[in-house]
Structure 1
Amino acid sequence: MRAVIVVPSIVLAATLLVAGCAADAGPTSTASSAASPSSAANPGATGPSASAGTSAAPAGAPDGGTTGGTFSATDVAWLQLTVAMSERLQPVLDLVPDRTTDPAWRRLAARVDDACGADLVRSRRLLAESGAPETNPHEGHDMPGMVTAEELTTLRDTTGPRFHRLVAAHLRAHLTQAVRIARAEQQAGANPATKALAATVVRDGTAELARLDQLDRPPGTTSAR
């Protein structure tokens, strides 16, 4: 039996967010260890600092409500991963209005789309403020919570109840992983504005997961709308 490694939150941030994006890594290969929920929710854990490579933020009060301060390697890596995950989810959300007439599913997709878009804008602004390269280090990588090209092709060819099931699975995977890594950023990050964004991701993601649970119920049960 394979041992499950529980990684302290600060080590999780250093490994998952900084070096955990191996090219062509499948979703299950990373999720079972580095992205374990128990490791992301261990506020008392100790470990090597992930903020060794901090860079000074530009002077002055930036626009959009952000604050000054330094950005640790964890902050930058979390922001980069948040951008990559949000960009990968967008094509899924774009399909919902044309694939379903169910108002509850449309409302859910619209809320997630709005939150995802706002997070994307803030993440890109903070990355620019940090001085990080504009290139996406996760380009072409299939990581936990990301929809693969093959899955998106299948979704585009699907309608009806099966479409709802697939969308629910993709949304749940994305939101669950987004909340996990945002909690790690809250615990191990350094920049106040980046940690505030992580708190927003946790709050909104947790709320949408609860709504998704109401919609994605087994046949024959009643969903609250």
Structure 2
Amino acid sequence: MAYDLEEQEKIDALKAWWDRYGTLSTALVLAVALSLAGWRGWQWYETHVAGQAMGYYEALESAARQSDDDAVARINAASAALRSDYATSGYTARGVLLAAAALQQRGDLEGARDQLEWLARDASDPALQAVARLRLAGVLLSLEHYDAALGQLQGTPPAGFGALYHDRRGDVLAAQGQKDQALQAWHQALDALGADPAAQVVQLKIDALNGA
């Protein structure tokens, strides 16, 4: 088929452009396609992992509601799976807190301690870490490990946790027989609580210790 001069010039220009940029264009198209496939693959993987973590969390939640002899084993197994295989999942921290509470309720203080110590070391979520340290201090208090309990409450309390940390420190100091320090900690809790109804509970502790 014959082309006129203008058409031939366009064809020659297209061939020249393809000779110069064709390989690069193909590579760019391929890279975009692979990136899109990789992004979709990663989305699928994250959804898959989240689904598995949720499954373990639900199993833990179910075991925590049970009272049979195997419940503790199932709680520990589900929590162990979350901690080892899904440490970065949002379900894991919640699961560990749930496991600790369930074990503590059953009198397994060492088991609860292990759960909370793991979460207290995790700085990825400061709020959950603060909760873990507070609850861990309570467990250590029950175990009469007073110095370790105070160690969890050292330094400036995390934002929003001041009253709770001061109150728990007062509990530990009172258990140690350090009356003046306990009263000081509870008064700090009262200052932080202000008009919060929880202040009445702290005041009762102060009155009881003063009357002792």
Is TM (by shorter chain) over 0.5? no
- Give the number of the structure whose alpha-carbon radius of gyration is greater: 2
Bigger helix fraction = 2
* Greater RCO (CA < 8 Å, at least 6 residues apart): 1
